[in-house]
Structure 1
Amino acid sequence: MSAGIFDKYATLKGNYDSLMATSPRNPFGVVIERPLSATVGIIEGRETLLFGTNNYLGLSQSTTAQDAAIHTAKTMGVGTTGSRIANGTFGLHQKLEKALATVFRKKHAMVFSTGYQANLGTISALVNKDDILFLDADSHASIYDGARLSGAQVIRFRHNDPADLEKRVARTDKTTGARLIIAEGIYSMTGNIAPLKDFVEVKKRHNIPLMVDEAHSFGVLGDHGRGVAEMQGCEDDIDFIVGTFSKSLGTVGGYCVTDHDEIDLMRLCSRPYMFTASLPPEIIAATLAALEEVKNRPELRQKLQENAARLHQGFKSVGLNTSNFISPVIAVTLEDIPQAITFWNALLDAGVYVNLSLPPATPDNRPLLRCSVMAAHSATEIDRAVETFGTIAKELKIV
């Protein structure tokens, strides 16, 4: 008798059932019934502070972007009904690609329907089964899935460790296939910032292209908001920059920017690009408007950095275990899953929403309460979140 279609998930079901038996609510099914602003939403019928949305600049509620989307939906419709290589390329798509290339000071840009697909499509277009990928061990799931789709050999190096990357790259110097190094700017779970400048030195010594995912750092770091590569002064040495519109820009979609003229070949061999309906025009219009705000309102980045430092220092002051990096992603590390579930539920009961991240999705197999701070948060909102964390941590005898 053949196995049932869901039999393979028996372990997962056991873990899920165990979690649900100890939690009064599903931590992976929280519904924000209505956002009242970028920082406050209605959850379970009450006003709740939002510290788990990745809405770093608060632009999901931008009136400029809203107006652009409304006008475009009325004049151009709400969808393209096709992929970019079929009938789904509108003039707005090309306008956004030119705008992104200009912002990043690169020659070319390629827009995808999601940030996840940007990694899937870029990686699988650049390498195949004869090639080698060097991935940071803490890489996002979309990077690992892009590697799997490509069929390339994957060699992982220790998180944020240029020396380990150097050692592993050197062992492959005599291979005949192509090689590609991939890192992220800000790591989405912990908020750790990559030493991209050191990775660039490895790339140069071994003549290997380097791809960087700036999903969580675009609009956030650097004098012009271009991310960690700008902040560390190594932008010109990054071959491919991938990112998303769903964080700082507040919409949805993804992109790859590069100086390589072969980008039109990538369009023809990137299956996630070729076989997915393109972004609808109102989303493109809203993204273009948000991109202008990122360019023209540097005070948002300054305020975001101040708020990130305030939340980070606040957590440290009440004795919570966080990374030493100060970025808009600040994760509190806990010791075990039951403790994390209890803490997360108590936070939501107290009107503070954060993300609960559980093993094996976490870097060191310990649960995290992952917070994302915004430029839109007030000092009062941040201090309330810190006070709530501190009170619950004391009640649970964590500090």
Structure 2
Amino acid sequence: MSLFDKFEKNAALLDQLSAAGKNPFTVVMEEVLGPTRAKIKGRETVLAGTHNYLGQTFEPRAIAAAKEALDHDGTGTTGSRVANGTFAGHTKLERDIADFLSMKNCVVFSTGYAANLGAIAGFVDRNEDVVLIDADCHACIYDGCQLSGAETVRFRHNDPESLDKRLSRLDPKYNGKLVCIEGMYSMYGDIAPVKEFVEVAHKHGAHLLVDEAHSFGVYGETGKGVSEAEGVMDKIDFYTGTFSKALASIGGFMASNHPEAEYIRFASNPYRFTASPSPSTIASAGAALANISENPAIREKLWENARRLHGAFVQFGLRLAAKPAPVISVLLPTREDAFDAWRFLLDQGVYVNMAIPPGTPGKESLLRLAVSSAHTNEDIDRLVAAYGALAEAFPSARVDGAA
């Protein structure tokens, strides 16, 4: 027996896919040409799987801020936030995010993954508390529950009634109750009924954490997320997000109106024992935040692109997972179909994400397209043409031809 025996099945599949040129996990961006273009295997390709929702990766203001931070503060902090790793830029960005969200405090983590991991494990006690999570929550939320050691209860995806039943049946021994949902779910692009979840959670004395990683900067009148769009920004207890989507950097955060939330800095191992984000990534995230805050037209362009693509895909008869959103997923019945369809699009000069079970809800395989405000009309035309060809070549991707 070996530690590596568990990899044999996956290794065989990956070797088979690589031999056939269908392995989506080995793609290399050989040369990045801009926010929506890169060279893959020597060919200029439209990028539609990068989560660069607001096109900030090449924003001049963000690049200039990153360069200035490198010159002023160096390449890294070489320490955690509670040691030597808190620079002026970290505390400024925390204030700026809190102000943007109209919340009292904000704690910056090294990644979005660490923000959820650290918030859940920091707030929840293994001996006294319980966590209730939407079944489709991201792996970092599941891992946060596991790290906390607390009892974890799943409820049906986007189903407040299911949550209500589970909260009603909880053993009264639990002192604290934390409910975790997401704003927009990254696999299908569907959004949560946050207002209903707030009402259910608070009715039972539970706190609500909303992960707006994929909806920050995108939803709501001012880009505060699905919670803003549903009018409950002042009612949610904890708001988590990432810099790696709309802010085109790396890092994450937890914001709250509860003054006690600040104590997470002393209770969360992923915060206390991880080196803090580099000055340049903090500076670029801050500049991107300022840019999208001051320019709502960026968000408007994203939605224009998303609606145009979604409308075209509906016309093609493709099996779509959700209503128009910055994530548009086409459902396929088998993983073999997904591998083949992903390769087909890459051959058309289009890069999207491919996802298969168990990393997807249910047993669906899918192709996930992430729309960007930086996609030009030419980019959108190429995406429409590629998906039109996909609809012709893969009947299983269509509503009328699905297996």
Give the TM-score normalised by structure 1: 0.97
Whether the 8 Å CA contact 2:115–2:252 is kept in 1: the answer is yes
Please give the per-residue CA displacement for 1:53-107, whole angstroms capped at 9, x wherever unaligned. Answer: 0000000111100011111101111110000001111111100111111111111
- Paired with 1:20 and 1:31, the residues of 2 have a C-alpha distance of 13
- Where does residue 139 of structure 1 map in the other structure? 137
Query: Within the alignment, does 1:65 sit opposite 2:23 as a pair?
Result: no
Letter of the structure 2 residue corresponding to residue 282 of structure 1:
S
Whether the 8 Å CA contact 1:123–1:147 is kept in 2: the answer is yes
**Residue 365 (structure 1) aligned to one of 353, 363, 366:** 363
- Where does residue 148 of structure 1 map in the other structure? 146
For residue 122 of structure 1, report the CA deviation from its aligned partner: 0.5
- Where does residue 125 of structure 1 map in the other structure? 122
Q: Which runs of 4+ in 1 moved over 4 A?
A: none
**Helix, strand or coil: the match of 1:233?**
coil
Q: Which moved more, 1:371-380 or 1:54-63?
A: 371-380
- Paired with 1:142 and 1:20, the residues of 2 have a C-alpha distance of 28
- Where does residue 33 of structure 1 map in the other structure? 30
- Paired with 1:206 and 1:236, the residues of 2 have a C-alpha distance of 18
- Paired with 1:102 and 1:396, the residues of 2 have a C-alpha distance of 48
Q: Which moved more, 1:228-237 or 1:323-332?
A: 323-332
Letter of the structure 2 residue corresponding to residue 8 of structure 1:
K
Q: What are the ranges of 5 or more consecutive residues in structure 1 without an aligned counterpart? A: none
For residue 173 of structure 1, report the CA deviation from its aligned partner: 6.2
Letter of the structure 1 residue corresponding to residue 169 of structure 2:
R
Alignment of 1:300-339 (within 5 A): 300-339=298-337
- Where does residue 381 of structure 1 map in the other structure? 379
**Helix, strand or coil: the match of 1:283?**
helix
Whether the 8 Å CA contact 1:128–1:152 is kept in 2: the answer is yes
**Residue 93 (structure 1) aligned to one of 81, 85, 90:** 90
Q: 1:235 to 1:173 in 2, by over 3 A?
A: farther
- Paired with 1:260 and 1:392, the residues of 2 have a C-alpha distance of 49
For residue 393 of structure 1, report the CA deviation from its aligned partner: 2.6
Query: Within the alignment, does 1:259 sit opposite 2:249 as a pair?
Result: no
Letter of the structure 2 residue corresponding to residue 255 of structure 1:
F
**Residue 40 (structure 2) aligned to one of 33, 40, 43:** 43
Alignment of 1:173-252 (within 5 A): 174-252=172-250
For residue 41 of structure 1, report the CA deviation from its aligned partner: 1.1
Please give the per-residue CA displacement for 1:284-328, whole angstroms capped at 9, x wherever unaligned. Answer: 111110010111000111111111111111111101111232210
Whether the 8 Å CA contact 1:193–1:325 is kept in 2: the answer is no
Q: What are the ranges of 5 or more consecutive residues in structure 2 without an aligned counterpart? A: 399-403
Whether the 8 Å CA contact 1:211–1:238 is kept in 2: the answer is yes
Whether the 8 Å CA contact 2:46–2:379 is kept in 1: the answer is yes
**Residue 51 (structure 2) aligned to one of 37, 50, 54:** 54
- Paired with 2:391 and 2:339, the residues of 1 have a C-alpha distance of 13
Whether the 8 Å CA contact 1:311–1:383 is kept in 2: the answer is no
Give the TM-score normalised by structure 2: 0.96
Whether the 8 Å CA contact 1:314–1:383 is kept in 2: the answer is no
Letter of the structure 2 residue corresponding to residue 156 of structure 1:
R
Please give the per-residue CA displacement for 1:353-395, whole angstroms capped at 9, x wherever unaligned. Answer: 0001111101022111000001111233223212211212312
Letter of the structure 1 residue corresponding to residue 149 of structure 2:
G
Equivalent pairs counted in the alignment come to: 396
**Helix, strand or coil: the match of 1:340?**
helix
Please give the per-residue CA displacement for 1:172-229, whole angstroms capped at 9, x wherever unaligned. Answer: 1623331100000000111000000010110121111000000000010111100000
- Paired with 1:269 and 1:68, the residues of 2 have a C-alpha distance of 32
RMSD, matched Cα:
1.3
For residue 167 of structure 1, report the CA deviation from its aligned partner: 0.6
Q: Which moved more, 1:165-174 or 1:249-258?
A: 165-174
- Where does residue 5 of structure 2 map in the other structure? 7
Please give the per-residue CA displacement for 1:112-133, whole angstroms capped at 9, x wherever unaligned. Answer: 0110101111110011222111
Q: Which moved more, 1:121-130 or 1:193-202?
A: 121-130
Query: Within the alignment, does 1:102 sit opposite 2:99 as a pair?
Result: yes
Whether the 8 Å CA contact 2:86–2:276 is kept in 1: the answer is yes
Q: Which moved more, 1:258-267 or 1:133-142?
A: 258-267
Whether the 8 Å CA contact 2:177–2:205 is kept in 1: the answer is no
- Paired with 1:18 and 1:177, the residues of 2 have a C-alpha distance of 51
Letter of the structure 2 residue corresponding to residue 93 of structure 1:
H
Q: Which moved more, 1:222-231 or 1:168-177?
A: 168-177
Whether the 8 Å CA contact 2:44–2:349 is kept in 1: the answer is yes
Letter of the structure 2 residue corresponding to residue 375 of structure 1:
S
Q: Percentage identity across aligned positions?
A: 48
- Paired with 1:137 and 1:152, the residues of 2 have a C-alpha distance of 17
Query: Within the alignment, does 1:289 sit opposite 2:287 as a pair?
Result: yes
Please give the per-residue CA displacement for 1:227-283, whole angstroms capped at 9, x wherever unaligned. Answer: 000000011110000000000000000000011222332111111111111011111
- Paired with 2:337 and 2:291, the residues of 1 have a C-alpha distance of 41
**Helix, strand or coil: the match of 2:254?**
strand
**Helix, strand or coil: the match of 1:289?**
helix
**Helix, strand or coil: the match of 1:95?**
helix
